Structure 1
Amino acid sequence: MSELKMGDRVRILNGGECKVLAKLGEGGQGIVYKVSYEGKEMALKWYFIEKMKNPKQFYSNLQRNIEQGAPTDSFLWPQELSEYSQGESFGYLMELRPQQYEDFSRFLLARVRFSSVAALINAGLNMVEGFRALHNRGYSYQDLNDGNFFINPQSGDVLICDNDNVAPYGENLGIAGKSGFMAPEIVLKKKNPDVNTDKFSLAVMLYLLLFMNRPLEGKRTMVPCMTEELEHKFYGSEPVFMYDPTDDSNRPVKGVHTNAIRRWPIYPEYIREAFVKAFSKNSMNGTAPRIIEKEWQELLTRMRDDLAICEHCGNETFVHYDREMICINCGKPVKVSYSLKTSRYNVPLLKGKYLYKCHTDASSEDFKTITVEIKTKKTDPSVIGLKNVSGLNWIVNNADGTILNVKNGDMLTVQKGMEIMMGSTKTVVQ
């Protein structure tokens, strides 16, 4: 590869040229530059072509991905290719990362923190949504790791980068992945990356996001020197989840895996159970199915539903719809008076929270569009109201047999036993 210099010009396949303005960073595949193209500042990823097994195939795959377009706006997707002659380097143009987005690795190093637990959960939901859209398009990512994400710490919005490794099912670009993120069968070279191995890597990413430690690294991996043979053992032939309920050989080490030790007890039980399932020996050796994106989305949506502000200390904690919980910060009891049971969720009704289309429309997976605002009466906070912002009319059957019609924009005061038809979806106040 010939490294580019400031002021160099690169010809673009569809016409024109870009001018190199600055070097932004360097990785294993190449260097990223800030460039000017047709009056706009963009990013140019320029490859170490000598490290590629099949540059022509890689270039053709990039060209196809550009023609197909990004699965969602969350992808920093390739937009334009440079010209390419055999034996020469090439690259592609993409949007620049907005300044408010931080590299995920900075969160892991505690150089950046989420503004709230709600923002952290939103980041997980957005990661899952991106990969669900990618897989539904018929693609696999093939090199999913902690360097693939930029996250807004205030909102949890996510941008997925390095999409040059994306390829259709059944195709492989000669890329395996990063140690600790690859599925065991890839480490063992039993298969190439695909959608099923992406599911394992996504589980690793979600564990990192929530617990800020790697799931397969505990006291077993505390070795003086991590050799290739040991990597093969710890991540391929004999992986052990740090919280495996049947094998305590790889438990987190006090003073080393501090985040996992502190966070494991405070997250809801169903989240812990999901990771035990995701990193069970059967899941890792391929004899049990892996958790799919839809299941992660429903789990994280439930986790967001159960996040509340403690009435005693004012900090974020987790609640449950049918039992008293202890605040994870002050240790005082927190109880939910009402919940709304839907076909998939049982949502605690708490002031300042929202319901989304996935709650009020049984056919929807939309966890972003707000359909209900939860409010309390100013003179009596124990009185809970649901503001209909769904765009639909609701039909309400009260426990006493009376029927109400709640139009879009109207407020409904909840009562136990109330049945609410939100469009075609039946919900019940408990």
Structure 2
Amino acid sequence: MVLKDPPAGVPNPLQVGEQAKIGGEGAVYFSTDDRFAVKIYYHPRPEKEQLLQQVMKLFSNLPPEQERFILPPLALVERLDGRSCVGFVMRRVPPRYTELLNFVMPRGAAEHFRRGRTWADYLKIARSIANAVVVLHGKGCAHSDIHYRNFLVNLEAGDAIMLEIDGVVVPGFLPPQVAGMMGFMAPEILTDGVSPNERTDRHSLAVLILHTILFRNVMQPLIEYDEDPNRSEELGWGRYALFSEHPRDHRHRPSNLGVPFYRRGALSYRMLTPMLQRLTERAFLEGLREPDKRPSAREWEEALAFAIDELWGCQRCRQHFPYPYERPLGERACPFCGERCRSPYPLVLELHEERQHGSFFPLRRIVLGHGFKVFADMIESSRRPPFSRQSEPILGHVEWDARRGQYRLINEGEDEWIALSASGRFSARKGGSVPVQKGCLLRFGEGKRVAFVVEG
């Protein structure tokens, strides 16, 4: 295979195997060294090669932390086996990555849970999906076809990679080539013929994120709207599109909503963190018919990143779920098996960050229990949870003092920690600890965040 001006690191000619993976608009070949994949189009439009060149230019020189989420074209193909053709080279995704569809249906999710995976893994996948869209929207373009067949994922690593970058949309520059997949398309595409854009992407992204972490399409119509099945489907996703958990209209509400997942129930969005609940309501209640009100990909990514620090473990089924601190104690239960949360309940800290000299503003909440670690990104200013904490410094941990019936924070860092409460002022340097109780104010050192103990 002969390429056109490939970048450094891409061999020319490129040796590919004879076996091709057949797709809808083209065939995909793999290089013999397993480093690259090549897509060759069956019947390309006359302008296809020019569009590919523009896409290549758009995504050239991406930093590694962005390129990991997408598969941009690296070079165009000139000839295959001596024949002129239209296609492009991209890096090959490792075989351990498979279609997201295999993981996000209830039966598939339950099977992966039996193999030892947890809901926290799905939360990381959802964050990776949001990050891929952040990269695209940051370049001023839309994907136009966001759904569970256009992402390859590694559940164990919590990674997702977006496919079909060759069809991105830039208003007035790169026209849409597809309208999207039914079930993920924004309703205005079906009702008003709106061309795919960044705002329609926002709807598709919200549907996919919720499908990934709730294992169902939250916009699924449950009644027929026309005798013609195709027309009924178009109406159900378009004119009569309705959030399944609309507070007043229950037409599309599953009968098993809120029943624990392991009892063949359907997970409710109300099991999510308060921040994710609010984004869901903006996407499907406020923004369903008003696209400008839909949350951005960046907002979803941030909320999903923060959610990882609000997880609690069920003492019965060992599943992880967002600790429902906003509910009364008697109503706090595992959404997977239904087991009530039991004492000792976790610490709930509200992190505050200094924005102006001496003025602190609430940032987010974290949930901590016995044995939980306090990572540097939790208490250092302007930090967000990284994708992996394998190399993140551990500055402390939490211990439950059963004799006194209270938690203690053990300092493993260099800064002095101070706890201010109605009981007095307590301080601890490296190796020491401070008692923690509700209403306590925690200081982690100069220039660090402070934490207010909401529950403890």
| TM-score of the alignment, normalized to the shorter chain, above 0.5 | yes
Aligned pair in 2 of structure 1 residues 363, 268: CA closer, same or farther (>3 Å)?
A: same
The 3 A distance-change label for structure 1 pair 392 and 59 is farther
Alignment pair present for 1:94 and 2:56: no
How far 1:116 moved relative to its partner?
A: 0.4
Q: Structure 1 residues 122 and 250 mapped into 2: Cα distance closer, same or farther (>3 Å)?
A: same
- Are 2:282 and 1:277 aligned? yes
User: Within the alignment, does 1:326 sit opposite 2:333 as a pair?
Assistant: yes
Shift of 1:221: 4.8
Q: 1:29 to 1:58 in 2, by over 3 A?
A: farther
Q: In the superposition, relative to structure 1, how do residues 233 and 311 fare at CA in structure 2: closer, same or farther (>3 Å)?
A: closer
Q: Deviations over 1:100-136 (max 9, x none)?
A: 2221111145456351011111111222222223322
Q: Runs of 5+ in structure 1 lacking a partner?
A: 1-8
Q: From the superposition, tell whether residues 234 and 170 of structure 1 become closer, same or farther in structure 2 (CA, over 3 Å).
A: farther
For residues 366 and 254 of structure 2, what CA distance do their matches in structure 1 show? 33
Listed one character per residue, the Cα deviations across residues 210-253 of structure 1 (whole Å, up to 9, x for unaligned) are 222222223225877532x4344222333122222222222336
Q: Separation in 2 of the partners of 1:396 and 1:420?
A: 5
CA root-mean-square deviation: 3.7
CA distance in 1, matches of 2:232, 2:182: 11
Q: CA deviation at 1:199?
A: 0.9
Aligned residue among 322, 341, 344 for 2:350: 341
1:73-95 deviation line (CA, Å, top 9, x unaligned): 2223322221289x953222222
TM-score (normalizing by structure 1): 0.81
> Partner residue of 2:184?
181
Distance 2:410 2:135 in 1: 31
Question: Which amino acid is the alignment partner of residue 16 of structure 1?
Answer: N
The C-alpha deviation readout for 1:248-269, integer Å capped at 9, x for no partner, is 22233669x9979521277237
Q: Percent identity?
A: 20
In 1, distance between residues paired with 2:98 and 2:144? Answer: 23
Work out the CA distance in 2 between the residues paired with 1:353 and 1:64: 45
Which residue among 67, 75, 89 is the counterpart of 1:80? 75
Amino acid at match of 1:251: R
Q: For residue 81 of structure 1, give the secondary structure of its aligned residue in structure 2.
A: strand
Match of 1:340, as an amino acid? Answer: L
Given candidates 10, 26, 42, the residue that maps to 1:48 is 42
SS at match of 1:210: helix
Structure scoring higher RCO (CA < 8 A, sep ≥ 6) equals: 2
* Structure 2 residue matching 1:45: 3-state secondary structure: strand
Select between 266-275 and 183-192 the one with higher mean Cα deviation. 266-275
Structure 1 residue 198, shift from structure 2 partner: 1.3
Q: 2:54 maps to which residue?
A: 61
> 2:246 is paired with a residue of what secondary structure?
coil
User: For residue 436 of structure 2, what is the aligned residue in structure 1?
Assistant: 415
**SS of residue paired to 1:262:** coil
Separation (CA, whole Å) in 2 of partners of 1:374 and 1:24: 52
Q: In the alignment, which residue of structure 2 is the partner of 1:3? A: none
Q: 1:342-365: CA deviations, max 9, x gaps? A: 122222211344556664345334
The one-letter amino acid paired with 2:245 is Y
Residues 40-83 of structure 1 deviation map (CA, whole Å, 9 limit, x = unaligned): 53211112334x47314422223313534363422233222212
The answer to whether the 8 A contact 2:314-2:320 is kept is yes
| Structure 2 residue 219 is matched with structure 1 residue 216 | yes
Matched residue of 1:263: which SS? Answer: coil
> How many Å separate the matches in 2 of 1:278 and 1:181?
13
**Corresponding residue number in structure 1 for 2:112:** 113
Contact 2:146–2:180 (Cα < 8 Å) also in 1: yes
Structure 1 residues 383 and 258: CA distance shift in structure 2, 3 A? closer
Mapping of residues 111-150 of structure 1, within 5 Å:
111=108, 113=112, 115-150=117-152
| 2:112 partner amino acid | R
Q: Which amino acid aligns with 1:42?
A: F
- For residues 363-374 of structure 1, what are the structure 2 equivalents within 5 Å? 363-368=382-387, 369=389, 370=392, 374=397
Question: Does structure 1 retain, via aligned residues, the 8 Å contact 2:168–2:176?
Answer: no
SS in 2 for 1:173: coil
Deviation at 1:201, TM superposition (A): 0.8
Matches of 1:393 and 1:129, distance apart in 2: 33
Aligned residue number for residue 209 of structure 2:
206
The question of whether the paired residues in 1 share the 8 Å contact of 2:375 and 2:396 is answered with no
Residues 183-213 of structure 1 show CA distances to partners (whole Å, capped at 9, x for unaligned) of 1222345432222111111001012112222
Distance 2:317 2:57 in 1: 54
CA distance in 1, matches of 2:180, 2:146: 7
Secondary structure of 2:39 counterpart? strand
Asked if 1:396 is matched to 2:398, the reply is no
